[in-house]
Structure 1
Amino acid sequence: NFATLPIVAIIGLTIATMGALTSLPMFWPLPTALLSASVAAGGLALINSIGQMAGFLSPYLVGWIKDQTGSTTLALYALAALTIVGSLVALRVSRSSAVKVAGPA
């Protein structure tokens, strides 16, 4: 278990949620900065669709891991690892492939 006292678990979940929600305003400008105007809407739709799919599949993943291991600890580690991988991909993409837009002459 991560925390034996419920108050410690609630504080930990609160801090984790604050961190996850704080990153959202920094993430959503990336597709429009990285994609050209003609494909930006499609890119945003694809990102939203993948996010909705993750929200649907994550509880099944947690349940399957709990059935296999008898604990949700490994499931939380798996979800944390997926979050870290996504963050690293976003960092890598944002630094390397921004669309260059010509400024006014």
Structure 2
Amino acid sequence: DVVFPMLMGATGLIIAANFATLPIVAIIGLTIATMGALTSLPMFWPLPTALLSASVAAGGLALINSIGQMAGFLSPYLVGWIKDQTGSTTLALYALAALTIVGSLVALRVSRSSAVKVAGPA
């Protein structure tokens, strides 16, 4: 399931934020976050095709990809803005972790509804 690696990524971000003054531990946290993010990708991409019909699957994948690219573009600005407002990147890491947790909850909801759709009514 895609939720576990996403939560692993959020956990890594929280570790990095909590131990920002200990560089080795912070780097380990960021490594865990990266592992979680990259591990979730191959599990995420089959979800849209399981949910969408063949006629709209390509458009749905394009929309999801566009949203992901926009997030990749805007995230550094969010981190910079939070750092400017608070003077610390710790809250920025917490914000990214919170967004990752929200994303994992959405993915959980979507994956459960796709499982019901694929299985059909009982």
**TM-score with structure 2 setting the length:** 0.76
CA separation in 2, counterparts of 1:77 and 1:101?
A: 36
Quickly say closer, same or farther: Cα 1:15–1:88, change in 2 above 3 A.
same
Which stretches in structure 1 are left out of the alignment for 5+ residues?
A: none
* Count of aligned pairs: 105
Q: Percent identity?
A: 100
Contact 2:20 2:90 in 1 (8 A): no
Q: Which has the higher contact order (CA 8 A, sep 6+)?
A: 2
Larger radius of gyration: 1
1:73-104 Cα shifts (integer Å, max 9, x gaps): 11111111111101100110121245856999
Quickly say closer, same or farther: Cα 1:11–1:60, change in 2 above 3 A.
same
CA separation in 2, counterparts of 1:4 and 1:18?
A: 22
Contact 1:34 1:99 in 2 (8 A): no
**TM-score with structure 1 setting the length:** 0.87
Larger helix percent: 2
